[in-house]
Amino acid sequence: MLKKVVKLLTAVAAVVSIAACSEKLEAGKSCPLLCPTQAVTLLDTTIDAVVVDTTVLGLPPIGTETYLMLASHGDTLETRAIVRFDTLPQTYTKSGTDSTIVSIDSATLVTPIVKPDSAHRPTSPVTIEVYDVDTAATDTVSSILGSLFRPDRFLGSKTFAPESLLDTLRIPISTDSVLDRVKNGKRLRVGYRLRSTPGYDIRIGTTQNGQAVSLRIKASKDTTATPVVVTPLSNTPTDQPFIAGPLADYTIVLKGLTTTPPTLLSVGGVPSRRAFLHFNVPSHIVDSTTIVRASLLLTQVPNRRVDQRDSVYVFPLAVLAAPVVTDIASALQFLGGNGQFGLDSVRMAPSDSGLRSFEIAGLVRTWRSQPLTVSPRSIALRSGAEAQLPAQFDFFSTKGPAGLRPRLRITYVPQTSYGLP
Amino acid sequence: MTMRRILRLARAVRGRTVLSFALIAAPAVGLHAQSNLSTQGFGYPVGQQSARSLGAGGALSEIDPLSPVNPASLALIGSRMLYFQIEPEYRTVTTAAGTERTTTARYPNVFGALPIGSNFVVSLGASTLLDRTATTSFNSTQFLSGHDSVPMTTTFHIDGAMDDVRLAGAWAPVSWLRVGLGVHAITGHNLINLSQKFADSVTFAAFTQSRVLGFSGSALSAGVQFVSQAWLASVSARKGGSLSLNAEDTVVSRARVPDRFGGSIAYTGIAGSAISVRADRDSWSALGNLGSPGLIGVDAWDTSIGADIAGPRFGQQSLYLRGGFRDRTLPFEAANQIVREKSFSGGLGAAFANAHILADLAVVHANRTAVNVPATEHAWTISIGLSVRP
């Protein structure tokens, strides 16, 4: 009998012990009746925290565009895309044997593009022309390169119906010109020109994003001959390989360069630009409270120059360069990635107007108890289609009209002695 | 799971208790809602009762050596002993908003005793004085400037307890008299985790803040027992010393450890049995200064009646049957009203392995109410105590 009692007690002890581990954590239905502590109060303040702001044109630097902007908008905007093939092979493979190229059956520029969606297809056929833009002159100057788009340097063209603009365009070019370069060991540098009425723009892939233009040379009609595929390569400037590499493909602007007045901050546009803002937030907020919302409030000014209705994301980005980098243009090249620090983008069209709110709480929180050398209190604004599309977004700067200048709205939890019953 | 809790407890208590023994003298480490009647203020008074005493409604605590109440009762211990107690509570709170059920796991009492000579016993133990472990989550809308507002969910998670570590000794100079003294260190912590999440998680960033509130205080206790063939009278008292509440290295507030006095009279004329009546008074109001200005501690009576009866014998061992009733006031008001607790309990006790192991089981059903507060609370508590005599 005692053994049975022992077994019973042991079983009860085991069950209770196990059950004791199974906890139910959440409750709160009886709040606020029985809750001694209510929600923490949030405080909200809007301050003129931007102490330095400016727009820097020409970013990203030439050659570092993720897509080449090939635009044709008449007198408003005219751009060209340049692709360099500074080394051309002189042999090809046929039936497993290398042979010297003595003739060329076809030469095609295989051109990856961003496939336009239905809202951005051209309304009429567009023509892409290709020119030989090789020159001994300073070879990134727009005016010099622009003058090379003339009939005697014409290499080829192709007209595309709107529905044929898919993800790759194949443009045949002069086989004689290519053969001449191959035989003589010369470089081939081509310039793209878009002809379209009404205006249109195409985004061409680059070496920066791994989807560069390639030159496909078929040296024989024989089906056993393997076509030669040449990828862009730039060997100049010869003494500056750091610069020469990115210049394998780049964009030049012939018409439509704009500037930004001091009363505005701009992002995107032509030439592409970024905005820089430096903050001074009172330490009693940054260091002594918990920030739950930090909104950079900017007043957008309509820009109706090009693609005024096309919506594009504008990204706030953390400036990672320490204050020792005093050149703002340099600092704007050391930026965090999109979405890093929880920074959220805002989608807008160039012709929009009114108040825009960029949420930067994730970044502002990192400023807590950190010196400026560790956590610079600066952000950049960058267009999600910078150097790819001409869309430009303008906002009033700190030199703009009072009441329309940049402001910082901060919602925070003040330091409280929470936890005391 | 249990080991994880014990380790968590050990980390929290580290550096605050001079006695490593206290590290496993677990205060409550379970979780339940603070949105209830019983866990207001600095928490629920677990009662410093052994499973044996709880089975008898708490009436035996003055004469029970395993309950850290009257140090004189230690003189009853005739051999080395270790004791550990498990005590989950299953709670139901009902308000107009609905019913919520929570589970709290507690390890409220750990204890060791060592006889020295024939009539002197020393012991070291730790017990939970006030258990504040709770999780409360509720929704609200915060109105900001202008027409700006944000719905949000606030969660308070509080983990920890105020503990009582006691070093005590008892002496029985003659067969009819036992006296005892105890030195108490009031220790423990409350780990407060505050988190807020927002319905608009794009604009608003959720956050979590943590804060550790530590207790540091002292007290002295004394007790005496008068023994006759059929009666056992017992009285004891605790005199509180200073008590401080610390956040990291800053003293947040100061108060006094609550004084306590109590007594019981038990009829022991039946062999192996005791029928007892007990009354106890705690000056919880002394803790008022330790919290926010609005915190009100309530000086409270704790009365009980119960019996521990030797039941059927199995061989050399008896099975003990227990029952009791308890009525007490809880230390902190809820919605500005005093909270009362009435409980019925029953229990069993038995010895095993040639009386080297003693096991006690108690089941307590408590009803907690506050006048004019439209909320009721019911709780089932199961307490298991294991004593080992090496």
Q: What distance separates the 2 farthest-apart alpha carbons in chain B?
A: 81
Contact residues, chain A, for B35 at CB < 8 Å: 27-31, 33-35
B97 and A32: CB-CB below 8 Å? no
Q: Report d(CA A18, CA A23) in Å as an integer.
A: 10
Placement of tokens 């928490």 in the chain? B43
**A180 alpha-carbon distance from chain centroid:** 38
Positive or negative: CA dihedral B31, B36, B38, B43: positive
Positive or negative: CA dihedral B44, B49, B53, B55: positive
Q: What is the number of H-type helices and E-type strands within chain B?
A: 2, 18
pLDDT number for residue B9: 40
Q: What does the pLDDT look like over A230-256, one tens digit per residue? A: 999 999 888 888 889 999 999 999 999
Q: What is the dihedral of CA B60, B61, B64, B65, to 10 degrees?
A: 180
Nearest to A28 among B106, B132, B136 (CB): B136
Give me the phi and psi of B23, to 5 degrees please: -65, -30
B373 and A2: CB-CB below 8 Å? no
pLDDT number for residue B138: 84
Q: Report d(CA B47, CA A311) in Å as an integer.
A: 67
pLDDT number for residue B27: 32
Nearest to B42 among A13, A411, A421 (CB): A421
A35–chain B nearest CA distance, Å: 5
The answer on pLDDT for A23 being more than 70 is: no
Nearest to A418 among B30, B37, B194 (CB): B194
- List the alpha helices (DSSP H) in A185-314: 241-244, 283-286
pLDDT number for residue B323: 96
A243–chain B nearest CA distance, Å: 40
Q: Report d(CA A211, CA A214) in Å as an integer.
A: 9
Give me the phi and psi of A12, to 5 degrees please: -60, -45
Q: Report d(CA A363, CA A370) in Å as an integer.
A: 12
**Percentage of chain A modeled with pLDDT above 90:** 73
| A411 has a chain B CB within 8 A of its CB | yes
Query: Where residue A203 falls among pLDDT bands split at 50, 70, 90?
Result: very high
Nearest to A39 among B95, B140, B203 (CB): B140
Q: Report d(CA A296, CA A281) in Å as an integer.
A: 12
Q: In what helix (H) or strand (E) does residue A191 lie, and over which residues does it extend?
A: strand A188-195
Q: Report d(CA A179, CA A183) in Å as an integer.
A: 6
Q: Report d(CA A377, CA A280) in Å as an integer.
A: 7
Instruction: Please report, for residues A65, A66, A107, A268, B16, the alpha-carbon distance to residue A388 in angstroms, rounded to integers and kept in the order given.
Output: 7, 7, 27, 9, 63
Nearest to A2 among B145, B196, B314 (CB): B314
- Each of the 390 residues of chain B gets a pLDDT tens digit; together they read 333 344 344 333 333 333 333 333 333 322 223 578 988 999 999 989 999 999 999 999 999 999 999 999 999 998 999 999 999 999 999 988 888 888 888 899 999 999 998 899 999 999 999 999 888 888 888 888 777 888 988 888 888 999 999 999 999 999 999 999 999 999 999 999 988 899 988 889 898 888 999 999 999 999 999 999 999 999 999 999 999 999 988 999 999 999 999 999 999 999 889 999 999 999 999 998 898 888 889 999 999 999 999 988 877 778 999 999 999 999 999 888 999 999 999 999 998 888 889 999 999 999 999 998 999 999 999 999 999 998
B102 and A38: CB-CB below 8 Å? no
Contact residues, chain A, for B106 at CB < 8 Å: 20
Find the range with the poorest average confidence among A15-29, A92-106, B12-26, B170-184: B12-26
Best of B155, B156, B162 to substitute, by most chain A Cβ atoms within 10 angstroms, is: B156
Contact residues, chain B, for A357 at CB < 8 Å: 203
Read out DSSP for A338-357? TTGGG---EEE-TT--EEEE
Q: What does the pLDDT look like over B88-132, one tens digit per residue? A: 999 999 988 888 888 888 899 999 999 998 899 999 999 999 999
Q: What does the pLDDT look like over A47-77, one tens digit per residue? A: 999 999 999 999 999 999 999 999 999 999 9
Contact residues, chain A, for B246 at CB < 8 Å: none
Helices A2-21 and B2-13, axial angle in degrees (round to 10): 60
pLDDT number for residue A139: 72
**Which residues are CB-contacts of A396 (< 8 A; sequence separation ≥ 6)?**
A263, A264, A265, A298, A299, A301, A404, A405, A406
Nearest to B103 among A22, A42, A292 (CB): A22
pTM above 0.80, yes or no: no
Nearest alpha-carbon partner for A169 in A237, A100, A113: A113
Q: Report d(CA A180, CA A193) in Å as an integer.
A: 23
Residues 325-364 of A with CB under 8 A from B: 342, 344, 357, 359, 361-362
Q: Do the beta carbons of residue A64 and residue A246 sit within 8 Å?
A: yes
pLDDT number for residue A240: 85
Q: Report d(CA B67, CA B74) in Å as an integer.
A: 9
A418 and B295: CB-CB below 8 Å? no
Q: In what helix (H) or strand (E) does residue A6 lie, and over which residues does it extend?
A: helix A2-21
A10–chain B nearest CA distance, Å: 9
Nearest to A35 among B136, B144, B194 (CB): B136
Best of B31, B136, B295, B380 to substitute, by most chain A Cβ atoms within 10 angstroms, is: B136
Chain B residue whose CA is closest to A357: B203
Chain A residue whose CA is closest to B351: A6
Burial (Cβ within 10 Å: 0-12, 13-18, ≥19) of residue B239: middle
Identify the structural domains of chain A with CATH numbers, from first to last. 44-59+258-413 (2.60.120), 78-255 (no CATH)
B198–chain A nearest CA distance, Å: 9
B95 and A34: CB-CB below 8 Å? yes
A29 and B97: CB-CB below 8 Å? yes
pLDDT number for residue A183: 95
CATH superfamily assigned to domain B2-141+149-388: Outer membrane protein transport protein (OMPP1/FadL/TodX) (2.40.160.60)
Beta strands A188-195 and A78-85 are antiparallel
**Percentage of chain B modeled with pLDDT above 90:** 63
Residues 9-28 of A with CB under 8 A from B: 9, 12-13, 16-17, 19-28
B211 and A411: CB-CB below 8 Å? no
Size of interface A-B (CB pairs under 8 A): 199
B5–chain A nearest CA distance, Å: 9
Contact residues, chain A, for B292 at CB < 8 Å: 417, 420-421
Q: Do the beta carbons of residue A294 and residue A377 sit within 8 Å?
A: no
B71–chain A nearest CA distance, Å: 28
Instruction: Please report, for residues B44, B87, B245, the alpha-carbon distance to residue B47 in angstroms, rounded to integers and kept in the order given.
Output: 9, 12, 21
Can you tell me whether residue A399 is helix, strand or coil? coil
